[in-house]
Amino acid sequence: MLPGRYCGRLPASGTQVVYLDLGLWYELGEANAGHPRQPTHPEVLAKLAVEVEQGRLQFPLSEIHYMELTENPRGDQRKEAADVMAVLSRFVTVAPLGRIVDEELARSLNQLCGRPAFPIKVPKFGRGVRYAFGETLDPKTQITELEEYLAAATPDVMRAQIPNYDPYAGRRRADIDLDNVNVMLIRCAQTPKSQSDNLTRSVNGS
């Protein structure tokens, strides 16, 4: 059920953005696959698909979705979730937490001490798994449906062909990023204003 025409369509003005927990994606995937948990789920899925098609709703994915889905050992459940993600998310993704925190820190420092003069701005939504993990900073990077679908579904046959495949690698990386964010927040709370320039340079990566 790959969407084709609207793959990667970013939220427009007036579009309501809804973040779904992975458990709800699993339920929608089961409804899409023909074995819903509740009799009403296929009807709900159909209505959501119409809202997405008409641009009124958007269901973006995050790095957490990809990590948790990859860690699921059940290939059939991963596939069902990826099938419905393709339809409802169109592989639009949320910027990683670390980049959003960088922006918030830079804006706060600008308001407190005037530095940085031009705080960084992070587009909150982009296209594809690479944007979700911060591997590209371009929210409009070109993506292909098949590659994005495989990144979400990670079929068992594909896993078997990847040397030393580790489904938990993404989580370990995210834990490191989260630790770095926590350290930065602690530094921000403890740093006197007279030392704010050093923290500003750290936030801007210089």
Q: Which helix (H) or strand (E) holds 140?
A: none
Q: Treating both helix axes as pointing N-terminal to C-terminal, what angle do 75-88 and 145-153 enclose, rounded to 10 degrees?
A: 140
- Is 2 within the bounds of a domain? no
Does residue 179 belong to any structural domain of this protein?
yes
Whether residue 158 lies inside any domain: the answer is: yes
pLDDT at 167: 62
Q: What is the pLDDT of residue 146?
A: 80
DSSP-derived 3-state class of residue 13: coil
CA–CA distance, 135 with 38 (Å, rounded to integer): 38
Does residue 77 form part of some domain?
yes
The pTM assigned to this predicted structure is: 0.73
Is 7 contained in some domain?
no
pLDDT grade for 4, boundaries at 50, 70 and 90? very low
Better-scored residue on pLDDT, 191 or 71: 71
| Domains identified in the chain, total number | 1
Digit-coded pLDDT (tens) for 57-73: 999 999 999 989 988 88
- What contacts 182, CB < 8 A, 6 or more positions away? none
pLDDT at position 3:
46
Q: Residue 108 belongs to what domain range?
A: 16-203
- Strand 16-17 versus strand 92-94 pairing type: unpaired
Tokens encoding 136: 């590209």
Please give the mean pLDDT across all residues of the chain: 81
Q: Are 88 and 50 in contact (CB under 8 A)?
A: no
Asked if residue 1 belongs to a domain, the reply is no
